[in-house]
Amino acid sequence: MNYFLHIIVLLNIYIILILGANMTVGMAGLLTLCQAAFYGIGAYIGTMLLMQFDLPFIVIALIVSVITGVFSLLISYASLKLKNDYFTLATLGFQMIIFTILYNWVDVTKGPYGISGIPAIKILGLWSLKGVVPYAIFTAVVMCAMVGIFVALKKSPYGRLLRAIRADETAVKALGRNTSAAKTRAFFLSAAFSGIAGLLYASYVRFIDPTSFTLNESLFIICALFIGGVGNAKGSIAGALFVVILPELLRFIGLPDAVAAPLREIIYGLALVVIMFVRPQGMLGEEMSK
């Protein structure tokens, strides 16, 4: 039972992460490869706040959102100056730089040794979440709230503006819209989503080190997003289900870990290639073309 709940917690965290990626990749049509960097920033900032201050979750989540959001301004700046591949490459660079800092700035992040003994989340300053049951419930609540925010944004005129930018940014500018500001906000939201996922992860696992926030993790998130589908919430949920459940299924079949781990990755890779052929927008995604 606890094992099952553990999977639920991971699933909730991944849904939030993938929704974050979906904000930029799916809604605004900008391919970023640095989601894990924001995830990591959220986890480390969240850890420091949890360890230093006795604050309720909502306050910490807000601070984490704002700080990761501020980091996203670097990506926004890149998106103003660079297009397509160059922009994606810059986000890859950002990912590498953040990882290097997390790994090397030992005084603050303890580098490769990681930080352990991270305190649990407190709700309303009263209850400390202990054990997997409350975490499963709590992360589910946060996940639902995030899905709600995503859907509301998608349906709002802001969502429409992002879709318009995805189709033809030049035309949108000529129609009097500040597209840079709109994109900056999308990056900010995307980073904030990832940051909150990082905070949940850190306080649940109670130990973090930089290896959870690598370029591979970013690629993994993008894989999950594209397998599930871009542009809407159900695609992100499907993507998270796929990548979280598949390894468990393989374990269920009884494959040894040395085989199951690479096999799982090969299946992800194959799924990704096949989906690019059959439905480039992902299983449940929305048509990306003009």
Partner 1 sequence: MLLQFVINGLITGLLYSLLAIGFALVYNTTKIFHLAAAGLYVVAAYIFYSAVSIFHLPLFAGALVAVAATMGVSLLVDVLVYRPLSKRQSSVNVSLISAVGVLTILVNLVVLVYGNAPKVVENSLKSTYTFGHLILSQPQVWQAVIGLLSVAAFVAFIHYTSWGKRFRALSDDEVLYTTLGYNVNQTRTIVFLLSGAFVAISSCLNVYEVGMDPNMGMNILINALAAMIIGGIGRFEACILGGLTLGLVQSLVLMQLPSSWQTGVTFLILMLFLFFRPQGIAGYKQRTV
Partner 2 sequence: MKLELQDIRLTFSNSRKGDFHLLQGVNLAVSEGEITAIVGGNGTGKTTLFNIISGFITDYQGKVLIDGKDIRPLPTYKRAQAGIGRLFQGTQLMGNLTLMENMKMASVDTMGEHPISPFIAWKSIRTHEYQKEQRAIDIINKLFGSDSKYLSMLDQKASALSYGEQRLIGIARLLMGESKILLLDEPTSGVNPVYIKTIADIIRKLVEEQHMTVLLIEHNMNFVKSLATNCAYLDNGKIMQYGQTEQVLNDEGVKNSYLGV
Contact positions vs partner 1 (CB under 8 A): 31, 78, 81-82, 84-86, 88-90, 92-94, 96-97, 99-101, 103-104, 215-216, 219, 222-223, 226, 258-259, 261-263, 265-266, 268-273, 276-277, 280, 288-289
Closest CA to 79 of 150, 182, 174: 182
Q: Which tokens is 280 given?
A: 């480039």
- Examine residue 236 and tell whether it contacts partner 2 (CB under 8 A): no
C-alpha–C-alpha distance, residues 219 and 216, integer Å: 5
290 binds, among partner 2, partner 1, none (CB under 5 to 8 A by kind): partner 2
In the structure encoding, which two tokens stand for residue 14, read together?
């991944």
- Binding window for partner 2 (CB under 8 A); candidates: 155-163, 202-210, 236-244, 249-257: 155-163
Neighbour-count burial of 287, counting CB atoms closer than 10 A to its CB (0-12 exposed, 13-18 middle, 19+ buried): exposed
Residue 262 interaction partner, one of partner 1, partner 2, none, beta carbon < 5-8 Å per kind: partner 1
Query: What is the three-state SS of 176-223?
Result: CCCHHHHHHHHHHHHHHHHHHHHHHHHHHHCEECHHHHCHHHHHHHHH
User: Which residues 135-154 are close enough to bind partner 2 by CB under 8 A?
Assistant: 149, 152-153
256 binds partner 2 (CB under 8 A): no
> Residues 6 or more apart from 26 whose CB is under 8 A from it?
225, 230, 231, 232, 235, 236, 285, 286
Choose from partner 2, partner 1, none: what does 167 bind? Cβ within 5-8 Å by kind.
partner 2
d(CA 107, CA 242): 38
CA gap 9, 110 in Å, rounded: 26
258 binds, among partner 1, partner 2, none (CB under 5 to 8 A by kind): partner 1
Question: From the list partner 2, partner 1, none, which binds 100 (C-beta under 5 to 8 Å, kind-based)?
Answer: partner 1
Tokens of 42: 């959220």
Instruction: Give the x-and-dash track for 168-197 against partner 2 (CB under 8 A).
Output: x-xxxxxxxxxx--x--xx--x--------
Q: How far is the CB of 40 from partner 2 (least distance, A)?
A: 24
* Under rule CB under 8 A, residue 287 binds partner 2: yes
Work out whether 129 is an interface residue with partner 2 (CB under 8 A): no
Please report where in the chains the tokens 């542009």 appear, as a residue. Answer: 231
Amino acid at 226: F
80 interacts with partner 2 by CB under 8 A: no
With CB under 5 to 8 Å by kind, the binding choice for 259 among partner 2, partner 1, none is partner 1
- Which residues here bind partner 2, judged by CB under 8 A? 149, 152-153, 155-158, 160-161, 163-164, 166-168, 170-179, 182, 185-186, 189, 287-290
